[in-house]
Structure 1
Amino acid sequence: MKKIAIELTNVSRKFISPTGVSTLALHDFSMTLHEGDFCAIVGPTGCGKSTALGMITGLSPPSSGTVRVFNQPVTKIDPNIGFVFQADAVFPWKNVIDNISIGPIYRGTNKREAKDKAAEWVRRVGLSGFEYHYPHQLSGGMRKRVALAQTFINEPKILLMDEPFSALDVQTRALMQDELLGLWSENKASVVFVTHDIEEAIALADRVIVLTKGPGKIKSSYEINLPRPRDVSTARYSTEFINLSKQIWSDLKDEVHI
């Protein structure tokens, strides 16, 4: 039986503005992820999706409720957690291989070993020949490959992703989704993937959680039983995929209606 990797129990999160106004971003939210699970969270802007990720990292403690990672209360940043942001989190003054090797170096690996390991990850994310290019010399999709390699090289047991592909064009986005699934299938980290895109959520995840408009709470949850390994470009044309998309949109449309 798989162990529980992430457990949020009845968590709420309030933010206080500089003028003293209290805003409830997330309310009575509970979620459990086991080792190797891939869960996507969808919902309207301001529903607390990113707030949930912040509570898992320890950067944004809950106002109430409990957060546990591998059965331990979250009290600080956990080195077992990797985070991929929407914006490129690469160092513009470092080339590809230096960007990828920086994580292991900070964690105590000697530079030679870290560079050797980074070279292998350059190959695995399809950037061979670009080892000494700088971020400004790369396309958006290539920079995102660097960001994925930066994260996976540290062998995270939990991977948090906050709309990581939203800035990419449609074709590059589909390629990066397939790239992510390929890397995840090898490492089997527990993934929480935040997105506004219903089709992206269904294509990637084993479970899709739909949040209400803010303050966010769970409106519905869907198990995604599409077979794996999953090809993103073809999965979305299946009858099951289309039906799931319609059901999730039906849940979500009232939350985003203006």
Structure 2
Amino acid sequence: MIEILQWSTLATCGLIAAARVPSAIRGENRSLFYIFGLMTVAILLSIEAPYVAIDQALGGINLANLLLRFIIFAAIYFVGIRVTRGFGADSAYRRITGRAGMVVLLVISLALMVLFFMMDTVGSSAGLAGPSVRNQHNAVLAQYYGAAGRAYPGYVALVLLPAMVRAVRSRLPLLVRVAAGLLALGGVAIGISLLFPFVPPGWGAIKFIVNYTAVLCYVLGLALIWAARVHNNRVSPAKRTYTEK
């Protein structure tokens, strides 16, 4: 079931990213292409076979996992910019792109790198499954490393959540409200992921479901916003709306 969820999510992201290529070449809403492209790479690196192949090429010390974390950071950052601009959430935009947001990103990034290089990471293993059980030292550091990796996406998701809830309750077009609802659900899933340290070891499948629910909700939500923009341009090409920002 987990492999089906992984590969189907990868296919969904990849197809949407490919569909955005012509628009990106024309210079239209390139941020959406960046988001879908980054998410596609992130999902690819979360699957065992491609992860191991890529990490072996990088030296076999799980640098691919560190790369994955920063790709996720970049994707969620672009999501934050796209969503806050699109829905006119100026205060949320400032909390993501302003000084506070940059300090949060810098501190978490530094913590992530320090924790990674303090571990014995030899031996390619998706999700650091191998190194995390090698010894007690690694096990403790892996917990902190995972928490740091979830911290920045959690920050952005929680910043965006109030704006998405307001959009759902507004009188915006139905398609946009559904998109906002999916983005809100994705934010809730990311928020739940912050509680992973308290999840019993035997519930590992729950972590996968929560993570991929978040990804799918964000991807589908952004795709619906794109669809709403296309629909709006066909109905009223002269009228500029939130979907074009």
Shorter-chain TM range is under 0.3
Using structure 2 for the length normalisation, give the TM-score.
0.28
Using structure 1 for the length normalisation, give the TM-score.
0.27
Q: Which has the higher contact order (CA 8 A, sep 6+)?
A: 1
Q: Which structure carries more helix by proportion?
A: 2
